[in-house]
Amino acid sequence: MPSWKIAYYSGVGGRPQIMLDQAPGEFEITLVDPTLSEAEKIELCRDADALITSDVTVNVLRECPNVKLIQTLSAGYDRMDLEAILEMGIPVANNGGANAISVSEQTLGLMIGIGRNLMAQWDTTTKERNWRGNLYQTDLTEITDKTVGIVGLGRIGRQVAKRLTGFDTRTIFYDIVDIPEDVQREVKAEPVGFDELLQTSDFVSIHVPLTRRTRGMMSDREFDLMKPTAFFINLCRGPVVDEAALYRALTEGKIAGAGLDVLEVEPTPADNPLFDLDNVIITPHMAGQSQETALRAAQFACENIMRVLNGGEAESLVTPE
């Protein structure tokens, strides 16, 4: 039986024991602390046949001649120099399907939370010990029968659309990729132009990778197109949004509120002005985290690596723009 050496960057959010439990007997897994120096990482990764990580550098890879696949445990791969890595002939596969359910559930959670102003209700009741207080003056919004616009109908966007069917929404989407009609019918989502989506949606939920094309795609122009009663939801990557423009939109009444799991800078500074707004709910980039996600991600990573090391083609390969 062949033995394959796998280096796993087991940092924040990593679940090394789950990975070790799911790894086949042929895998010899080395845990790599992402906070180590590059020289220390090279020593641990030098003989690796595959890497499980989303932030390996080209300098490390140059010293790892046996690597046949870089496998991420998440959908994102923006912390790597993808173009340079692919030029080295090393394929990169992401793991977007593993966290799709978790992210989609938190997407709906943020929609409900910001539409129903749950944080204000919780704060008034629990922290202030003030039963209802002035909450009678608060406008609360339902999702049912609203128009929800999904930007990016990939694996996560489709799970969001699927869950929205229980709320009887009109679900529309925009994507630069042609989405098969059978998928559109299955999740009951109809394609529209980007501007039309922004202009007509009561909730705009964005689910795109961070690339040169998507960086800053939501800025003043886009928020100006949205309805003043609409809510903006972002659970993909912070730099997809011009945060200063979002702040202006929230404080100038261009949109009603926002639910955010990601920010431009993470960890974000303690003086981020978004923290001071009552019409924003912020969570610390945890949407993709769950016990189930960790298990699915580990299983897919091991299966995909084994597929490649046995001479097959990897699934979920990432391609440049």
- How far is residue 170's CA from residue 148's CA, in Å, rounded to a whole number? 6
- Specify the CATH superfamily of domain 4-98+290-309: NAD(P)-binding Rossmann-like Domain (3.40.50.720)
pLDDT at residue 20 is higher than 70: yes
201 neighbors 222 (Cβ within 8 angstroms)? no
User: Which pLDDT does position 319 carry in this prediction?
Assistant: 85
Q: 1 falls in which pLDDT band (50, 70, 90)?
A: low
Q: 136 falls in which pLDDT band (50, 70, 90)?
A: confident
pTM: 0.89
The whole-number average pLDDT for the span 234-248 is 97
Catalytically annotated residues: 237, 266, 285
Same fold: 4-98+290-309 with 100-282: yes
The whole-number average pLDDT for the span 282-300 is 93
Element (H, E) at 149: strand 147-151
Percent of the chain with pLDDT over 90: 84
Cα 189 → chain centroid: 20
pLDDT at residue 243 is higher than 90: yes
The fold of the 100-282 domain, in CATH, is Rossmann fold (3.40.50)
Cα 104 → chain centroid: 10
Cα 52 → chain centroid: 18
DSSP 241-259: B-HHHHHHHHHTTSSSEEE
Percent of the chain with pLDDT over 70: 98
User: Which pLDDT does position 16 carry in this prediction?
Assistant: 84
77 neighbors 58 (Cβ within 8 angstroms)? no
Sign of CA dihedral 142, 144, 146, 151: positive
- How far is residue 205's CA from residue 153's CA, in Å, rounded to a whole number? 10
Q: Domain-by-domain residue ranges, the chain?
A: 4-98+290-309, 100-282
Q: 12 falls in which pLDDT band (50, 70, 90)?
A: low
- How far is residue 59's CA from residue 64's CA, in Å, rounded to a whole number? 9
Q: 13 falls in which pLDDT band (50, 70, 90)?
A: low
User: Which pLDDT does position 95 carry in this prediction?
Assistant: 87
> What does each C-alpha distance from 213 to 61, 149, 261 come to in angstroms?
26, 19, 21
CB atoms within 10 A of CB 306: 17
pLDDT in tens, 68-120: 999 999 888 888 999 999 999 999 999 868 999 999 999 999 999 999 999 98
Q: 133 falls in which pLDDT band (50, 70, 90)?
A: confident
The whole-number average pLDDT for the span 301-317 is 95
Closest to 29 in 3D by CA, of 38, 39, 14: 14
CB-count burial class (<10 Å; 0-12, 13-18, 19+) for 270: exposed
The whole-number average pLDDT for the span 257-284 is 97
